Amino acid sequence: MQHKGSGEAIDRRNSPPPPPDAAAEKDEGSQGLQLPEDIRWERLDKARFFVLGAGLFSAVSAALYPAVVLKTRLQVAPVAATGAAALPPSAFGAAAAILRREGALAFYRGFATSLAGTVPARALYMGALEATRSAVGPVALSLGAPEPAASAAAGAAAGLAAAVAAQIVWTPVDVISQRLMVQGNPCPASRYRGGVDAFRKIVGSDGLRGLYRGFGMSILTYAPSNAVWWATYSLSQKIIWSGIGCYLCEYGVGVQEIDLGNGDSSLQPGCKTVMVVQGVSAAMAGGASALVTMPLDTIKTRMQVMDGDGEPITVGRTVRMLIKEGGWAACYKGLGPRWASMSLSATTMITAYEFLKRLSDKGQESGLA
């Protein structure tokens, strides 16, 4: 959702008299499209925002977790193959092989650990995101930046800050959950018996540093990924609204008329129209982000799950192993599942996120815009 004025609604009450041709167009029913105002950080009921957010995003994470498992298994297939049969290179083939050999529960291995980290990580992420976006946007506008550029800059800065804050929690959760993902079904020979056992063994062998293995690569992966995502999301919405705005106004599709008083009115998109535009924009942003940051994600995942065999696990060593296995194309292993996961996740997450903000708006008695 874009706020006006930063996207101000077209309100002609204080405007000079329009020329005759513009007046004629208005008489024929051409009206401005007023986009819903964005709900800023200071307007949110924080307790409701975080509590409801934890529940909503936990449900979304549960629905999308199998794609994350599949992506991770494909990225580390040569490493995991030492303890289990090698997976086919295609996403569908790998999914069928995992289902046949290990059962459906294999797609939720490590989920309990991941879920335990969802609440604090999402709280840090959403808090940093909204606080930064609310601070950067007005500053960019005051410096003379055009509204689209200010919105994109605010989104990029907010995504960057949110990613860094969340990785404080997410990196240990990733290390544990990904190690559980890539091992076979729990049995006496399994290296880890569960999340707690994995935590204890990792700390026992590598100390707390073991839980933050790949932290630098996580920042390098998720910080630009989030910056690209939020900037692309903001720009995509503006492009879509500018493209369909005239159509919506002319044909009255998916809009409702708002009385501005003094005989003036404007058109505002309905809730369903706004959600569709947000969902499409999120899918575009997710796809772009997945493509740009895929090599970094593959390197990060390898570093977090592979054994060092007595040698330090470095970015250079990991990259050399990947290139040796399959050239630069090896850095894009699991791109299909990651692209689908990020696009679907983005669409689902952003609609849930914007809905959550409307539920948490202090200015709405019912919580709905």
Give the chain's domain count.
1
Q: Is residue 5 part of a domain?
A: no
What is the chain's alpha carbon radius of gyration, rounded to the nearest angstrom? 24
User: For every one of its 369 residues, what pLDDT tens digit does the chain have, with 9 covering 90 and above?
Assistant: 333 333 333 343 344 444 444 433 333 333 566 776 677 777 878 788 878 877 887 888 888 889 888 888 887 776 444 445 567 777 888 889 889 988 898 899 889 888 888 778 888 888 888 889 888 888 988 988 888 788 888 888 988 898 889 888 888 998 898 888 887 655 444 578 888 898 998 898 888 888 888 888 788 878 888 888 888 888 888 888 887 776 776 666 766 777 666 767 677 777 778 888 888 888 888 888 888 888 888 888 888 777 666 677 788 888 888 888 778 888 888 888 888 878 887 888 788 878 888 888 876 644 444
Helix (H, G, I), strand (E, B) or coil at 110: coil
User: What string of DSSP letters covers 298-329?
Assistant: HHHHHHHHS--TTS---HHHHHHHHHHHHGGG
Contact between 73 and 94 under an 8 Å Cβ cutoff? The reply is yes
Contact between 148 and 108 under an 8 Å Cβ cutoff? The reply is no
Can you name the residues that pair with 269 across neighbouring β-strands? Answer: 255
**3-class DSSP string for 24-49:** HHHHCCCCCECCCCCCCHHHECHHHH
The bridge status of strand 264-269 relative to strand 255-261 is antiparallel
Q: Is residue 152 part of a domain?
A: yes
Nearest to 312 by CA among 222, 171, 202, 206: 206
* Placement of tokens 């005051």 in the chain: 142
* Placement of tokens 């204890």 in the chain: 200
CATH of the domain at 216: 1.50.40.10
Q: Is residue 61 part of a domain?
A: yes
Q: State the pLDDT at residue 3.
A: 39
Q: State the pLDDT at residue 270.
A: 75
Q: Is residue 159 part of a domain?
A: yes
Provide the domain limits for residue 330.
43-80+87-255+265-360
- As given in the structure block, the two tokens for residue 293 are 């940051």
